[in-house]
Homo-oligomer: A and B are copies of this chain.
Amino acid sequence: MTSIGHIINGEAVSGGSRRQAIYNPATGSSSYEVELADKATVELAIEAAQAAFPGWRNTPPLKRARVMYKFKALLEAHAEEICSLITAEHGKVLNDALGELQRGIENVEYATAAPELLKGEHSKNAGPAIDSWSEFQPLGVVAAITPFNFPAMVPLWMWPMAVVCGNTVVLKPSERDPSSVKRIVELAQEAGLPKGVLNLVNGDKEAVDTLLTDPRIQAVSFVGSTPIAEYVYSEGTRHGKRVQALGGAKNHAIVMPDADMDNVISSLIGAAYGSCGERCMAISVAVAVGDACADQLVQGLKVAMANIKTGAGTDNNNDMGPLITGAHRNKVKGYVDAGVAAGAELVVDGRGLLVSGHENGYFLGPCLFDKVSTDMSIYTDEIFGPVLCVVRAKSMQEAMDIINAHEYGNGTCIFTRDGEAARYFSDHIQVGMVGINIPLPVPMAFHSFGGWKRSLFGDLSAYGPDAVRFYTRRKTITQRWPAGGLRESAQFSFPS
């Protein structure tokens, strides 16, 4: 059986004796494995990154950025190939994979602006004949640890900004769907990234722990579930590293009585069930204000959900593919069972779905609950599946209170036509990414991505302007030149 290895110092290498099978979630079958790096292999990668650092750090930002221009072109040229790999291992529909890749490319585009982004602040005459300025110097070797649900995009949130800032990187992607990211790393090398600047190790906890403890790693960027994010943050900071660790979410949409209901329904269908709900920005709760609004919403969703097609991601006619593993599918099913048991009204039940020809795939149909209360596990927990809960509120304030009481604060949105409602909501909601009539308010690459509360551990958000600050260390230089030197003496040196 073939196995997927690592890329260290520009070379494909094997490392680690443990292997894990890679499954196609649409078929449940597996034909190859991924190698799980042991500590020694990870250390090789760190060593390569460390060795590449001095040269790369001294390379002007403009030259570092130019690699990204070529890399962008290569990603575009190989988009179809990359998306096939995503779909084969993650299961999402090809068009959705293309959307993911496009969002990743946008981060590469932002990274091309490195010469602009790395400018420091210069104060002429900070004091009398004293100048002072700031430089944002790279940290050294940084680690990126990324999740299965966006195998191409999340790594592209991290390492392009890290490398254009002058760092070198060890990337440990998810061991569930390692092929697309590996292909992308190969393209980065092809674009001209010097050896050792970007290293890829596949692995699991052993690899993660090595990265979290090795003193040569200066910083860690992580995206995953909240418990692991919290572990990564505390372990990493305890070992003297800068860490940003993005965790879970339970994203609510408020539906106001004045909203354009057709727009709401089509938006929520996409935001709740796209990529099978396996998105940290998926909407998993809709809070309808007023029973009339709720009734209209639930009825509209029910009708629209009848048209959702679930099947293999290789067919772009499908709207939803399988979940990532059989175990996860069963866990999601369990949540639906629990919701029913807890008394929520299961308006649409996707549990019985059979996808003909893909009987062993990890499929689950879209589910819709109405009259969900905030003590049910379907409400409190991040399900990460195609389950949308409708909560009914009597007022906008009550709807906001519900959201502000949840432990997560990643994304949220409101549907309304009313300027004042939108402004009050965006001002007072305790959530980091807010949409006004935008169901998935993922910030553009030129802004930054970050939730509040237990959705993000760390001071700085991912990608965008915050990434520049995260991947650099401020140095402030204050300069005065002593008088009485060459300039004054020169005028006496050559008397007429």
Contacts and interface: CB of A to CB of B under 8 A. Distances in A.
A450 interface: yes
Interface in A234-251: 234, 237-238, 240, 242
B121 A478 contact: no
A442 B445 CA distance: 31
A188 B384 CA distance: 45
Interface string A98-125: 0000000010011011011111111111
Contact of A126 (B115, B460, B482, B491): B115
B396 A126 contact: no
A368 interface: no
Interface stretch (A65-73, A321-329, A359-367): A65-73
Interface residues of A, number: 120
Nearest to A444: B126
Given A237-B234, A417-B482, A118 B126 contact: no
A423 B392 CA distance: 30
A477 B115 contact: no
A159 interface: no
A61 interface: yes
A363 to B, nearest CB: 32
Counting every copy of the chain, the complex holds 4
Interface in A433-469: 433-438, 441-450, 452, 454, 457-461, 465-466, 469
Task: Name which of A133, A424, A466 has the most chain B CB atoms within 10 A of its CB.
Answer: A133
Nearest to A264: B482
A472 to B, nearest CB: 10
Given A419-B481, A470-B459, A120 B117 contact: no
A118 B483 CA distance: 25
Contact of A491 (B122, B398, B423): B398
Contacts of A437: 479-482
A123 B422 CA distance: 17
A260 B483 CA distance: 9
A426 interface: yes
Closest 4 CB pairs of A and B: A395-B491, A420-B481, A290-B494, A436-B479
Given A420-B482, A437-B481, 18 more contacts: A66-B109, A69-B73, A73-B73, A113-B113, A126-B444, A127-B444, A134-B447, A258-B486, A290-B493, A394-B494, A395-B491, A421-B487, A421-B490, A435-B478, A438-B479, A443-B478, A459-B460, A460-B469
